[in-house]
Amino acid sequence: MAIDPGVLTQITEHYDKDLYQILFEDGKETSPLLACCEVKAEKEGLGRKFIQRVTTFEGAAVAADPSIADAIAADGAAGGRPTRQRWEINAVSMDSTFKFDREEILAIEGMRADEQFDVITEEMDMAALRIRNMLAEQVSGKGWGKLAVTTAQSTTGFTVNPAFTNRFPVGARLVASVSEDTDVLLGSSAQLRVIAADPATGVITVSGNPVTTWASSAVLYIFRAGMRLSLDPNGDESLKTSLTGVAGWINPTGGTMFGINRTGDPNLTGFAIDCTGLDTSQALSAMADQMFSYGRKLDTIFISGTSWKLLQNDYDASKVVKVDLGDYKIGFDGYKLATVFGSAVVIPDPYLAPGEAYGGPFQNKKWRPRLLHSGAKLVNLDNFDGKDFERVTTSGARQFKGQFFFRGQMCIAGPGMYIKASNLPTS
């Protein structure tokens, strides 16, 4: 046998006991937004949905006249008392494959058991980390899997805001549409592969001509292949195949989400502030001031990398502080912002869009975002049949492959504790 039987047993134990260390040992690569999320195992109810109670403010049922207070509490209108509504949240799935050719298995035959273990787990660890990286990217999004919107096209690629080039790793397969949450994927869901990404210019070079492949010279919405429905989803939340991140949960424009019509109720959509005309530091203070007027405290404000650069021009470097986020106490750098509720920490997230910021109780155990998962762990080795590897035939060649998976969804039970700022300076 090419692989020592003891190594196979050790591999199973390794991912059973050490998976979270593997996912988060490299610290800041996790992304601070992901680090803030409470990782919580939750049952879907026989594969249906996650059920999470909506959390809102105290309610309006108070008056000098007790009959009026009673009437407000009993009439069932929104805001009378703390809501009894619930989010019925659709889970999404991610799979990440690892594989070995037969020749690779034969090459490690005769190695010591610890050497075999290192070779095999290095490949497997990378598969688990790919899911971690995808979660880090998607916790900032709306849930439709959008990577960026094009600003130009050519026969060899397209151009996006340079801040988004970190979403286009070499080898990624891309699809496109003319809108984010409506319309079909173009070119019968034809895929193009990323060959290069220039962070200075925002030019993404791909494996074909996007104009002819996707049969459109219009502004394009770009997605990873497999992360957006090929048919027209028509804005239907149940058809999402990506995480609904902060941009989806804290969305003051409203609309229906996971069974609840949120339009017009900031307790369900989150609050909004337009920062046009303000510099970066003024905009962040305005976020905290607005939430103070509603009696809601911000402990953290997440900004884009673009805003972080501009903030460094406004703030003294001595105000940079170290902050440990989440259950795994991952350390990040942030600016200490004085607010009327005390200090808040301003932290850049690599996947937030330039010009936007989100503030709220991201570190509060009651109000912080949750990353719900229906597997035993956040990321799971798909070995329910007792086999870590399966033998497959690909064009006559024998391969041994397996996969990790994530099934779950992000949830912010009380969006009304948060605020979204738009139109921050970008230069």
In a domain, 12, yes or no: yes
In whole angstroms, what is the distance from residue 134 CA to residue 374 CA? 17
- What mean pLDDT is predicted for residues 249-260? 89
Q: What is the pLDDT of residues 226-241, one digit of tens each?
A: 999 999 998 888 889 9
Q: What is the pLDDT of residues 135-149, one digit of tens each?
A: 999 999 999 999 999
Residues 6+ apart with CB under 8 A from 385: none
Residue 188: exposed, middle, or buried by beta-carbon count in 10 A (0-12, 13-18, 19+)? exposed
Is residue 382 located within the same domain as residue 295? Answer: no
Is residue 158 located within the same domain as residue 123? Answer: no
Is residue 347 located within the same domain as residue 391? Answer: no
Is residue 28 located within the same domain as residue 104? Answer: yes
Is residue 217 located within the same domain as residue 268? Answer: no
- What mean pLDDT is predicted for residues 174-187? 95
Asked whether residue 292 carries a pLDDT value surpassing 70, the answer given is yes
Is residue 417 located within the same domain as residue 270? Answer: yes
Asked whether residue 2 carries a pLDDT value surpassing 70, the answer given is no
pLDDT band, very low/low/confident/very high, at 28 (cuts 50, 70, 90): low
Strands 419-422 and 271-274 turn out to be parallel
Asked whether residue 360 carries a pLDDT value surpassing 60, the answer given is yes
Is residue 27 located within the same domain as residue 127? Answer: yes
Higher local confidence (pLDDT), 321 or 255: 255
Is residue 258 located within the same domain as residue 199? Answer: no
For residue 394, the model assigns a pLDDT of 66
For residue 112, the model assigns a pLDDT of 85
For residue 51, the model assigns a pLDDT of 86
In a domain, 70, yes or no: no
pLDDT band, very low/low/confident/very high, at 26 (cuts 50, 70, 90): low
**What is the count of structural domains for the chain?**
3
Q: What percent of the chain has pLDDT over 70?
A: 92
* DSSP designation for 99: E
Higher local confidence (pLDDT), 250 or 122: 250
In a domain, 67, yes or no: no
pLDDT band, very low/low/confident/very high, at 57 (cuts 50, 70, 90): low
Is residue 162 located within the same domain as residue 276? Answer: no
- What mean pLDDT is predicted for residues 122-126? 89
In a domain, 13, yes or no: yes
pLDDT band, very low/low/confident/very high, at 23 (cuts 50, 70, 90): confident
Domain boundary among 237, 259, 294: 237
Asked whether residue 76 carries a pLDDT value surpassing 90, the answer given is no
In a domain, 97, yes or no: yes
E-strand stretches of 81-212? 86-89, 92-101, 146-149, 152-153, 157-159, 173-177, 192-197, 203-206
Higher local confidence (pLDDT), 190 or 72: 190
**For 386, what's the count of Cα atoms within 13 Å in the CB-facing half-sphere?**
0
Domain boundary among 206, 237, 268: 237
For residue 290, the model assigns a pLDDT of 94
Q: Which of 12-16, 79-83, 84-88, 301-305 has the highest mean pLDDT?
A: 301-305
Residues 6+ apart with CB under 8 A from 409: 50, 89, 90, 91, 92, 243, 244, 372
For residue 1, the model assigns a pLDDT of 54
For residue 366, the model assigns a pLDDT of 87
Residue ranges making up the domain that contains 397: 5-57+86-140+372-409
pTM: 0.89
What angle do the packed helices 5-17 and 113-138 form, to 10 degrees? 30
For residue 140, the model assigns a pLDDT of 94
- What mean pLDDT is predicted for residues 99-121? 83
In a domain, 135, yes or no: yes
Asked whether residue 327 carries a pLDDT value surpassing 80, the answer given is no
- What mean pLDDT is predicted for residues 371-387? 84
Is residue 27 located within the same domain as residue 135? Answer: yes
Residues 6+ apart with CB under 8 A from 13: none
In a domain, 254, yes or no: yes
Higher local confidence (pLDDT), 50 or 222: 222
In a domain, 175, yes or no: yes
For residue 166, the model assigns a pLDDT of 94
Is residue 115 located within the same domain as residue 11? Answer: yes
Q: What is the pLDDT of residues 191-218, one digit of tens each?
A: 999 999 999 999 999 999 999 999 888 8
Domain boundary among 182, 212, 237: 237
Task: Count the Cβ atoms, other than its own, within 10 Å of residue 46.
Answer: 5
* DSSP designation for 276: T
Is residue 160 located within the same domain as residue 131? Answer: no
Asked whether residue 220 carries a pLDDT value surpassing 90, the answer given is yes
Nearest to residue 244, comparing CAs of 413, 65, 74? 413
- What mean pLDDT is predicted for residues 283-304? 92
Asked whether residue 320 carries a pLDDT value surpassing 60, the answer given is yes
For residue 235, the model assigns a pLDDT of 87
Average pLDDT score over the chain: 87
